[in-house]
């Protein structure tokens, strides 16, 4: 089968790979680029573990073909921390907003996308925004509190 | 699988017309990729429509209507002030589709052409009197949205045909529309029943109305009887009663794990009443 040559920017760095036409962006990130922070929970858009930001828009990388990433800018969990952890990452640890951690990269990426649009969300807004991110462990409350505290911290810093 | 990236609708149509096996168009991919993954559909040819110029644009037309590109995702519709002001019911229907992540990709055309009787954006489009521009081997034509669905998973588009734009009519004065659906939770579920109402007032009296019912028949349906029940009224108690009865009578639902036929029939009446009240308030300029 003919492979498709894909050129993208991932977490600020140019990335190139050859994709099978049926390959998802999720598989390309994990298997070709070695970025295994993005997780596969369902592969069908239901769980959000595969959340990434493409050209500024939060999407499920399992619902996008790798070939569709041509010329796009992709942000994954690996690009979130700088020298230090992102406030969201720190607050998730602080609040113990994770247990097994499988949902965490997707939730962090999704929460970051929310706070970029809405620096001061209500609990309800956070819950609706994260409705497509499933967590089997925490019961969500700690996640909401961690996002609120990270938001407050980021507002304070700005 | 061959992955195509045509840069015009004519080329997309030509590739589709010549495709020997299973063909799918790729807009947001939120149905296509799920079906591929589940092994339900294995396309031989997949035609990505997002490289055609202007497919991501929303434009107001000369007559005051709207032309929506076939790759415009829900998140962009939901952020468009002009469209939300004119057709809040259409926008709220599309915005109910899936999660934030799904909204980043999913389109009106994909929702319509996937052919689900429970598709959340379709009742709103039908009630609004939306039309689609269809491009095919013989050129392009315009048809009403309600002419597209043929049954679960099926459309009336023929080989080589695809939708090249969604067209909403001018809102005009004193109009309002609304869409409501019932699901057992607040987010991320498939409509058990849906209903959209679009109407126009002359002072307090309804002079035009369209009512569309979702998930209560093999396709989304336009109920003329439900519309007749409220035209000429001020949406008083007896009009609401007549609307309820007409919507219930128009419903031909099945029983499945998400709801029995009896339940769906009752709920479609309730939703019709509530959606009509919201549309009426919006037409009066009192709604959101
Ligand atoms: C987690 C999740 C939750 C969802 N929740 C909902 C929900 O609440 N309500 C709901 O209604 N749907 C829901 N969906 C289904 C789906 O997101 C919608 O139907 C969406 O609008 C499909 O649009 P798309 O652009 O992604 O379509 P695609 O997957 O790209 O295409 C869908 C179909 O339409 C055809 N098609 C696409 N564009 C055209 C065109 N221009 N001309 C002709 N044919 C075309 C394709 O060939 C394909 O058969 C959900 C999906 C997921 C994964
Ligand atoms: S793996 Fe993509 S949503 Fe579950
Ligand atoms: S921490 Fe285990 S799924 Fe969320």
pLDDT tens, position by position, A48-101: 999 999 999 999 999 999 999 999 999 999 999 999 999 999 999 999 999 999
Residues in CB range of B17: below 8 A, 6 or more apart: B136, B137, B159, B160
Contact (Cβ atoms closer than 8 angstroms) between residue B211 and residue B197: yes
Residue A1: predicted pLDDT: 63
CA-CA-CA-CA torsion for A11, A15, A17, A22, nearest 10 degrees?
A: 30
Cα B127 from Cα B197, distance rounded (Å): 6
Using 50, 70 and 90 to split pLDDT, how confident is the model at B185?
confident
Q: Which of A25, A61, A63, A124 to mutate to test the interface with B (most CBs of B within 10 A)?
A: A63
pLDDT tens for residues B264-276?
A: 999 999 999 999 9
Structure pTM? Answer: 0.97
Could you tell me which CATH number the domain at A87-157 has?
A: 1.10.150.120
**How many angstroms separate the most distant Cα atoms in chain A?**
53
Q: What percent of chain A has pLDDT over 70?
A: 99
Portions of chain A given CATH number 1.10.150.120 = 87-157
| Runs of H (alpha helix) within B46-87 | 74-78, 81-86
ipTM here: 0.96
CA-based nearest residue to B99, from B194, B30, B183, B188? B188
Q: What percent of chain B has pLDDT over 70?
A: 99
CA-CA-CA-CA torsion for A42, A46, A48, A49, nearest 10 degrees?
A: -20
Residues in CB range of B20: below 8 A, 6 or more apart: B44
Q: Counting atoms of ligand 2 from 1, which one is nearest the CA of A50?
A: 2
- B88 C-alpha to center of ligand 1: Å? 20
Query: How many other CB atoms sit within 10 Å of the CB of residue B93?
Result: 33
Q: What angle do CA A17, B21, B43 make, to 5 degrees?
A: 40
Portions of chain A given CATH number 3.10.20.30 = 4-79
Mean pLDDT of all residues belonging to chain B? 97
pLDDT tens for residues B30-81?
A: 999 999 999 999 999 999 999 999 999 999 999 999 999 999 999 999 999 9
Could you tell me which CATH number the domain at A4-79 has?
A: 3.10.20.30
Query: How many other CB atoms sit within 10 Å of the CB of residue B4?
Result: 19
Q: Counting atoms of ligand 2 from 1, which one is nearest the CA of A134?
A: 4
- Give the pair of three-digit tokens for residue B117: 């009787």
Contacts 24+ apart (CB under 8 A), B67-70: B67/B165, B67/B166, B67/B167, B68/B108, B68/B165, B68/B166, B68/B167, B68/B168, B69/B165, B70/B27, B70/B107, B70/B108, B70/B109, B70/B163, B70/B164, B70/B165, B70/B166
Mean pLDDT of B199-225: 97
Residue A2: predicted pLDDT: 87
Q: Domains in chain B, start-ordered, CATH in brackets? A: 175-283 (3.30.390.50)
In this complex, which of A21, A62, A129 lies closest to B3 when CB atoms are compared? A21
């Amino acid at each position: 089968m003919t492979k498709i040559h894909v050129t993208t920017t991932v977490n600020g760095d140019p990335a190139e790979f050859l994709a099978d036409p049926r390959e998802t962006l999720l598989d390309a990130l994990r298997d070709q680029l070695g970025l295994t922070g993005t997780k596969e929970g369902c592969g069908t858009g239901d769980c959000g573990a595969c959340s990434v930001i493409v050209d500024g828009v939060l999407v499920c990388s399992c619902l996008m073909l790798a070939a569709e990433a041509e010329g796009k800018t992709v942000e994954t969990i690996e690009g979130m921390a700088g020298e230090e952890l992102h406030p969201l990452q720190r607050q998730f640890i602080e609040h113990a907003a994770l247990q097994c951690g499988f949902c965490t990269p997707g939730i962090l990426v999704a929460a970051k996308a929310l706070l970029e649009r809405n620096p001061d969300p209500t609990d309800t807004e956070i819950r609706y925004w994260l409705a497509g991110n499933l967590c089997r462990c925490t019961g969500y409350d700690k996640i909401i509190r961690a996002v609120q505290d990270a938001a407050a911290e980021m507002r304070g810093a700005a | 699988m061959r992955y195509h990236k045509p840069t015009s609708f004519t080329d997309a149509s030509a590739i589709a017309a010549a495709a020997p096996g299973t063909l799918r168009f790729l807009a947001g991919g939120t149905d296509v990729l799920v079906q591929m993954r589940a092994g339900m559909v294995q396309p031989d040819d997949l035609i990505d429509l997002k490289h055609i110029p202007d497919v991501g644009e929303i434009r107001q037309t000369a007559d005051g209507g709207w032309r929506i590109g076939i790759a415009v995702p829900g998140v962009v519709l939901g952020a468009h002030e002009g469209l939300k002001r004119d057709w809040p019911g259409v926008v709220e229907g599309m915005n109910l589709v899936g999660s934030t992540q799904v909204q980043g990709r999913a389109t009106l055309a994909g929702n319509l052409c996937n052919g689900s009787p429970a598709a959340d954006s379709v009742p709103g489009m039908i009630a609004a009197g939306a039309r689609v521009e269809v491009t095919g081997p013989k050129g392009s034509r315009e048809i009403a949205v309600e002419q597209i669905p043929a049954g679960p998973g099926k459309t009336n588009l023929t080989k080589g045909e695809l939708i090249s734009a969604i067209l909403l009519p001018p809102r005009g004065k004193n109009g309002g529309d609304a869409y409501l659906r019932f699901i057992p939770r607040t987010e991320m579920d498939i409509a058990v029943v849906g209903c959209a109402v679009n109407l126009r007032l002359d002072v307090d009296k309804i002079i035009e109305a369209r009512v569309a019912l979702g998930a209560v028949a093999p396709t989304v349906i336009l109920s003329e009887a439900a519309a007749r029940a409220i035209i000429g009224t001020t949406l008083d108690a007896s009009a609401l009663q007549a609307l309820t009865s007409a919507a219930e009578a128009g419903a031909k639902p099945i029983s499945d794990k998400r709801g029995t036929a009896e339940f769906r029939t009752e709920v479609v009446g309730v939703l019709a009443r509530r959606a009509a009240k919201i549309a009426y308030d919006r037409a009066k300029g009192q709604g959101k």
